[in-house]
């Protein structure tokens, strides 16, 4: 069985304790990983601090070449990396491959952006002064990432940070550290100088403690649940660390009566059931307008019943396992709660046992209709293959329902009338809007939320802003 060390200061470091990584489709242990703690996190921060000076001073085209090299190496190893991702996380292999290739795209995009970090000249009010605003990297960045996209969440943080001239310490999710540590090998082969990137797997609290208390860390970039994001923000206030928080979502998906129904059915399936519904931007609440409700829900139910659940290595499978038992239990709780409030299960609603797959965590794709608005599925993020369905009458009514949540990450709607489309996207209180588009994430656009979904943006030229600071220079002549 393969064993992974931690990647600190350009070395693979072992520790006294090890953690087992399991395959969620089978329950089997697939690898062991050295367990890092506060000491390894401090060592990594020290290494990143030492490396910062040379890395931030390196001419941008040279930094860009190394980032581009990382992208090329990820692409060259895409199949093997995707297999590791599917083994530790469960998603179907084609989804894993798409995630790996998108990770490469982030490195390529940011290798190009590294060369375009421009400042400003500012007209002075007197003849004997010259004014400039320049942009400089914030310093050492700590990154904490979740298990649902173990490769691309790292790429989305590390590539803009490095492009900006920052150095980084990464803490991947404890359930999926292998994709992260494989990236360490790629950084090593791509010519990344020692200490510029460091990867520490282990239990979150001690590692986060080092990130929050070490004054060398100037920025914390976190993707994960709203609860942990709030906790980190409270703690980061002590040292006024810069923060980016990419947190939970609770996306509404609205189908208007002039929508193309076939496209909208396919859109719901793509948005909801990708990664077994364990996606921060996936649809949680489906609102369908009265005139098309019956026909739409029947077409959707037929499509959802046809989705195949199974292990990620079976090419005919649409939906892999969930990450663990507690994730399945959360879906079960929401289904029970919806039914107790008068909800009707249209399809699904139970666990699935896959023959010869061991003790994996599978749940059937599920649609529940006739639900009250105070049901759990209407109130909290599901993070699983369950979709609540409601019938609405007017655009005004559905806008209110859609915005009636503390979350504000992604929202979707399908419709064709230009006036209604514009009014709808202007009114939705979300950071990302998909209009007739169920998968809006791309490397060249800013991704992030509002309200309890956090702040900061990843992707696009805006993705670098969070890793840069303005410095104003006033020169008397
Ligand atoms: P989580 O908050 O439990 O864990 C995320 C990361 O935080 C992991 O690395 C974990 O080890 C770490 N962590 C946990 N407790 C911590 C603590 N006390 N101190 C410091 N770090 C701690 O979330 P999760 O279950 O891994 O991921 C699912 C959540 O992530 C969902 O809410 C999902 O919506 C969100 N998410 C958001 C985005 C986005 O871009 N907005 C993207 C993916 C996932």
Residue 188 has pLDDT above 90, yes or no: yes
State how far the Cα of 426 lies from the Cα of 433, in Å rounded to an integer: 10
Is the CB of 197 within 6 Å of ligand 1? no
Per-residue model confidence as pLDDT tens digits over 301-337: 999 999 999 999 999 999 999 999 999 999 999 999 9
The pLDDT value recorded for residue 371 is 95
**410: which residues sit within 8 A by CB, 6+ positions away?**
249, 251, 280, 281, 430, 431, 432, 433, 434, 440, 449
| Residues 32, 163 share a domain | yes
| Residues 199, 60 share a domain | yes
Residue 96 has pLDDT above 90, yes or no: yes
Give me the number of domains the chain comprises. Answer: 2
| Residues 87, 49 share a domain | yes
In a domain, 403, yes or no: yes
Is the CB of 211 within 6 Å of ligand 1? no
| Residues 243, 255 share a domain | no
Q: How confident is the model at residue 140 (pLDDT cuts 50, 70, 90)?
A: very high
In a domain, 255, yes or no: yes
Per-residue model confidence as pLDDT tens digits over 386-437: 999 999 999 999 999 999 999 999 999 999 999 999 999 999 999 999 999 9
Q: What is the CATH number of the domain that holds 420?
A: 3.40.309.10
State how far the Cα of 138 lies from the Cα of 165, in Å rounded to an integer: 8
Residue 298 has pLDDT above 90, yes or no: yes
| Residues 302, 202 share a domain | no
State how far the Cα of 289 lies from the Cα of 274, in Å rounded to an integer: 24
In a domain, 23, yes or no: yes
The pLDDT value recorded for residue 465 is 96
Residue pair 141/168 in contact by the 8 Å Cβ criterion: yes
The pLDDT value recorded for residue 345 is 98
**234: which residues sit within 8 A by CB, 6+ positions away?**
none
Relative to the CA of 207, which ligand 1 atom is closest?
20
Q: Which helix (H) or strand (E) holds 472?
A: strand 468-476
Is 188 considered catalytic here?
A: no
Residue 359 has pLDDT above 90, yes or no: no
Determine the structural domain holding residue 194 and report its residue range: 2-247+453-476
% of the chain residues with pLDDT over 90: 99
Question: What's the rounded mean pLDDT across residues 47-53?
Answer: 98
Is 246 considered catalytic here?
A: yes
The pLDDT value recorded for residue 433 is 98
Q: How confident is the model at residue 356 (pLDDT cuts 50, 70, 90)?
A: confident
In a domain, 369, yes or no: yes
Q: How confident is the model at residue 357 (pLDDT cuts 50, 70, 90)?
A: confident
| Residues 317, 184 share a domain | no
Question: What's the rounded mean pLDDT across residues 50-59?
Answer: 98
The residue contributing the CA closest to ligand 1 atom 41 is 246
| Residues 338, 201 share a domain | no
In a domain, 385, yes or no: yes
Per-residue model confidence as pLDDT tens digits over 194-228: 999 999 999 999 999 999 999 999 999 999 999 99
| Residues 299, 234 share a domain | no
State how far the Cα of 327 lies from the Cα of 306, in Å rounded to an integer: 23
In a domain, 447, yes or no: no
| Residues 169, 120 share a domain | yes
Q: How confident is the model at residue 358 (pLDDT cuts 50, 70, 90)?
A: confident
| Residues 468, 362 share a domain | no
Is the CB of 310 within 6 Å of ligand 1? no
């Amino acid at each position: 069985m393969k064993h992974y060390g931690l990647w600190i200061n350009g070395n693979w470091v072992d520790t006294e304790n090890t953690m087992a990584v399991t395959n969620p489709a089978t329950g089997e242990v697939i690898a062991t990983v050295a367990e890092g703690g506060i000491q390894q996190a401090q060592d990594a921060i020290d290494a990143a601090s030492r490396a910062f000076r040379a890395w931030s001073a390196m001419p941008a085209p040279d930094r860009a070449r190394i980032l581009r090299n990382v992208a090329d190496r990820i692409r060259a190893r895409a199949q093997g990396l995707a297999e590791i991702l599917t083994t530790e996380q469960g998603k179907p292999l084609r989804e894993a491959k798409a995630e790996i290739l998108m990770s490469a795209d982030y490195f390529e995009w940011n290798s190009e952006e590294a060369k375009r970090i421009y400042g400003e000249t500012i007209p002075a009010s007197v003849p004997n002064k010259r004014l400039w605003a320049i942009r400089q990297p914030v310093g050492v960045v700590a990154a904490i990432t979740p298990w649902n996209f173990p490769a691309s969440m790292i790429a989305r943080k590390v590539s803009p940070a490095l492009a900006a001239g920052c150095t980084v310490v990464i803490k991947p999710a404890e359930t999926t550290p292998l994709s992260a540590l494989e990236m360490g090998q790629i950084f090593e082969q791509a010519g990344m100088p020692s200490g510029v990137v460091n990867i520490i797997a282990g239990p979150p609290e001690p590692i986060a403690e080092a990130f929050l208390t070490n004054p060398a860390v100037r920025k914390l970039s976190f993707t994960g649940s709203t609860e942990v994001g709030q906790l980190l923000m409270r703690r980061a206030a002590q040292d006024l660390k810069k923060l980016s928080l990419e947190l939970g979502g609770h996306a509404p998906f609205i189908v208007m009566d002039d929508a193309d129904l076939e496209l909208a059915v396919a859109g719901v399936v793509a948005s909801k059931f990708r990664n077994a519904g364990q996606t921060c931007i996936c649809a949680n609440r489906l609102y369908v307008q009265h005139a098309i409700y019956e026909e739409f829900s029947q077409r959707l139910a037929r499509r959802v019943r046809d989705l195949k659940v199974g292990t990620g290595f079976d090419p005919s499978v649409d939906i892999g396992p969930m990450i663990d038992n507690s994730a399945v239990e959360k879906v079960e709780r929401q289904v029970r709660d919806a039914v107790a409030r008068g909800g009707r299960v249209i399809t699904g609603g139970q666990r699935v046992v896959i023959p010869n797959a061991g003790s994996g965590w599978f749940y059937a794709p599920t649609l529940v209709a006739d639900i009250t608005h105070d049901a759990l599925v209407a109130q909290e993020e599901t993070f699983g293959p369950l979709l609540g369905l409601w019938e609405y009458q007017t655009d005004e009514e559905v806008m209110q329902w859609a915005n009636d949540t503390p979350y504000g990450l992604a929202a979707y709607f399908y419709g064709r009338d230009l006036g209604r489309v514009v009014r709808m996207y202007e009114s939705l209180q979300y950071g990302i809007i998909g209009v007739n588009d169920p998968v809006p994430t791309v490397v060249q656009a800013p991704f992030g939320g509002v309200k309890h979904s956090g702040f900061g943006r990843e992707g696009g030229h805006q993705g670098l802003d969070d890793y840069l600071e303005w410095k104003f220079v006033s020169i008397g002549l």
